[in-house]
Amino acid sequence: MSATRAEICVVACAEAWRGDGEILAAAMGTCSILGARLARLTFEPGLLTTDGGALLTAEAVPFGAPAGAVEGWLPFREHLWLVQNGRRHVMMGASQIDKRGNTNISAIGDWPQPKSQLLGVRGAPGNTICNPTSYWIPKQSTRVFVPKVDVVSGVGHDRAAELGPRAARFHDLRRVVTDLAVFDFGTPDGSMRLVSVHPGVEVEQVKAATGFDLTVDGDVPQTRQPTDEELRVIREVLDPKGLRYREVKA
Amino acid sequence: MGVVTSIEDIVGSLESGMTIGIGGWGSRRKPMALVRAIYRSALTDLTIVSYGGPDVGLLCAAGKVRRVVAPFVTLDSIALEPHFRAARQRGAVEFTEYDEGMFMFGLLAAAHRLPFLPTRAGLGSDVMRVNPGLRTVRSPYDDGEELVAVPALTMDVALVHMDVADTRGNGRYLGPDPYMDDLFAKAAGRCFVSCDRMVEPGELGGPPQTLLVSRMHVTGVVETPGGGHFTDCHSNHGGQGRDEMFQLHYAASAADPEAWAVFADRFLSGDEAAYQESVQQWREEGR
């Protein structure tokens, strides 16, 4: 079976939680939510996932489906305590992200009177300083991958380093998945590195969609293909209606 | 103990310049009947403390707000709140922007008469830059860790919406999430509860852990069937949760001044009974 770009993205998101064991896989965005549930249904069965609301589902459920049987209760207050507790790896979205992994979901322009007011910082400050954090960005461009974010909602490596090793000991940026590629921060100064490009994407294309100097080490491999079983789970179980294609075109 | 009161008497007891906390979360179980009454009141210069949704948007649209204290303002199924965006982009409202966990710690501190509570959330982020009054505190123990000292989010009045309440002001929620409504009730000098259905004391029913708000924290209670509309409430819209169609209509109207004038004239120019009737008519036209 051959996979679509959206399915490559779902699997690349799922890979973020590999090896995490029994923690909450918290996800925002369709491919990210599908990725969390796919990981749970395949290579990372210990993960906990929600119905998109306050319920921890007994089994990973299809996107948008009712919770069915539940194994736990996670209303917002408990979710916010869990952030402090730490048994959680979150994959957030970002309207802007910079080379050191600072992210912005708050506002574009000058904060006192922004050109474009977005959501507000939401949980990004706490998430990034307390939990392993990854990002899912459905449409990579130089508008999103910027030299400097306008408002630091999610804390990047330079800001964490300024805090010192004690205050930043739970700061742990894992990976960034976009519609084009996968990135991490595995460089000496914690700046962003290209890990793999999705099948059909050239390295130059990724560089052109990045508004800062990207670390590229030698030959860049391709993001792995989904297995037949992964494709079956995505197509028949988790997302039979193809909602993933609203985020990443087929 | 709460006394049974009216929407008009609750809003009549508020004053311009007050700090008002609003329960719910985003576009979920918001005390919208009370918010609509503030919208058509003469009140002004308010500070609104809220996990923000259309409550913040409506009050910004009416020019009631001097400052918003919030970690976000969203309609959930529609990410951005048009009126709040417009107000911020005009520079019309001041904004105290907190992380959502910080915000909960601020409520917890206020609810428990503490000056602050410590947390890591906020460290390293621009929350510290855009709130220059925020202070950190160093652990007095051997770890010596520096943490954000989130100040108590005290408020003059809190407004919350329950699915069921009794005539004393005890309130029960039926959905999956209590949000922070009990903390708002405890953090405020006075708390008013609106409810979809009012019952006699002892008739609240249900598992005791769904009894969220206690009369000891409640000043007044009012029955407002559909009072959470159009936000996600267990009891309204035939148990279907959020009225997504109407929220879409709200958001589309809010994004355009002329459309908003039409919306406001049709839905917000009368009292709560008139609102509910106009919504019912709007729904029937859509069939």
- One domain for residues B120 and B214: no
Task: Give the three-class secondary structure for A13.
Answer: helix
Q: Which residues of A touch B97 (CB under 8 A)?
A: 106, 120-121
- One domain for residues B9 and B140: no
Burial B127-151 (b: 16+ CB within 10 A, else e): bbebbeebeeeeeeeeeebbbbbbb
Burial of B166 (0-12, 13-18, 19+ CB in 10 A): buried
Angle, CA B172 vertex, CA B169 and CA B174 arms, to 5°:
155
Contact yes or no for A196/A223 (Cβ under 8 A): yes
- One domain for residues B146 and B158: no
Report B:138-157 residues touching A (Cβ under 8 A).
143-147
Residue of B nearest to A124 (CA): B99
CA B176 vs. chain centroid, Å, equals 18
The CA distance from A212 to the nearest CA of chain B, in Å, is 21
DSSP calls for B170-234: -EE--SS--TTHHHHHHHEEEEEEEEEEEE-TT---S-GGGEEE-GGG-SEEEE-TTTTTTSB-S
Examine residue B252 and state whether it is found in any structural domain, yes or no.
no
- Judged by a CB distance cut-off of 8 A, whether residue A21 touches chain B is no
User: How does pLDDT run across A37-57, given as a tens digit for each residue?
Assistant: 999 999 999 999 999 999 999
**In the structure, how many helices (H) and strands (E) does chain B have?**
10, 13
Examine residue B256 and state whether it is found in any structural domain, yes or no.
no
User: How does pLDDT run across B85-107, given as a tens digit for each residue?
Assistant: 999 999 999 999 999 999 999 99
CA distance B190 to A59: 43
CA distance B107 to B184: 7
Q: Could you give the C-alpha distances from B261 to A70, A244, B55, in angstroms and in order?
A: 45, 37, 18
Contact yes or no for B130/B88 (Cβ under 8 A): no
pLDDT in the model for residue B234: 81
User: How does pLDDT run across A70-94, given as a tens digit for each residue?
Assistant: 999 999 999 999 999 999 999 999 9
* pLDDT at residue B236 tops 70: no
- One domain for residues B70 and B140: no
Task: Give the three-class secondary structure for B235.
Answer: coil
Where in B203-274 does DSSP place strands (E)?
A: 211-213, 220-223
**In the structure, how many helices (H) and strands (E) does chain A have?**
7, 12
User: How does pLDDT run across B51-65, given as a tens digit for each residue?
Assistant: 999 999 999 999 999
Structure-token match 């994959």, residue found: A91
Q: Could you tell me the two tokens for B169?
A: 């002001």
Examine residue B284 and state whether it is found in any structural domain, yes or no.
no
Count of domains forming chain A: 1
- One domain for residues B11 and B85: yes
Structural domain boundaries enclosing B215: 3-97+153-244
Structural domain boundaries enclosing A198: 5-246
Q: Would you give the DSSP letter of residue A236?
A: I
CA distance B51 to B29: 11
Q: Could you tell me the two tokens for B70?
A: 């919030």
- Report CB contact under 8 Å: A123, B71: yes
pLDDT (average), residues A132-137: 98
CA distance A155 to A148: 12
Examine residue B269 and state whether it is found in any structural domain, yes or no.
no
CATH code of B38's domain: 3.40.1080.10
- One domain for residues B83 and B192: yes
- Judged by a CB distance cut-off of 8 A, whether residue B100 touches chain A is yes
Contact yes or no for B83/B254 (Cβ under 8 A): yes
- One domain for residues B12 and B66: yes
- One domain for residues B167 and B146: no
Q: Would you give the DSSP letter of residue A153?
A: -
Phi-psi region of B104 (alpha: psi -120 to 50; beta: other; left: phi over 0): alpha
- Judged by a CB distance cut-off of 8 A, whether residue A118 touches chain B is yes
The CA distance from B176 to the nearest CA of chain A, in Å, is 6
Examine residue B108 and state whether it is found in any structural domain, yes or no.
no
Contact yes or no for A139/B132 (Cβ under 8 A): no
CATH code of A85's domain: 3.40.1080.10
Examine residue B163 and state whether it is found in any structural domain, yes or no.
yes
Examine residue B276 and state whether it is found in any structural domain, yes or no.
no
Q: Please give the torsion angle defined by the CA atoms of residues A163, A156, A111 and B249, in that order, rounded to the nearest 10 degrees.
A: -130
Residue contacts between A and B (CB atoms, under 8 Å): 139
- Report CB contact under 8 Å: A167, B79: no
- Judged by a CB distance cut-off of 8 A, whether residue A167 touches chain B is yes
Q: Which residues of A touch B72 (CB under 8 A)?
A: 119-122
- One domain for residues B89 and B120: no
- One domain for residues B188 and B235: yes
Examine residue B127 and state whether it is found in any structural domain, yes or no.
yes
- Judged by a CB distance cut-off of 8 A, whether residue A166 touches chain B is yes
- One domain for residues B190 and B81: yes
Residue of B nearest to A131 (CA): B121
Query: Of the candidates B72, B130, B180, which has its C-beta nearest A122's C-beta?
Result: B72
Confidence category of residue B239, pLDDT binned at 50, 70, 90: low
Interface test with A, best of B107, B120, B181 (most A CBs within 10 A): B120
- Report CB contact under 8 Å: A80, B130: no
Q: Which residues of B touch A107 (CB under 8 A)?
A: 88
- Report CB contact under 8 Å: A162, B89: no
User: How does pLDDT run across B167-221, given as a tens digit for each residue?
Assistant: 999 999 999 999 999 999 999 999 999 999 999 999 999 899 999 999 999 999 9
Q: Which residues contact A2 (CB under 8 A, 6 or more apart)?
A: none
- One domain for residues B84 and B144: no
pLDDT in the model for residue B1: 81
Q: Could you tell me the two tokens for B108?
A: 């917890």
Count of domains forming chain B: 2
CA distance B131 to B88: 16
**Is the pTM above the cut of 0.95?**
yes
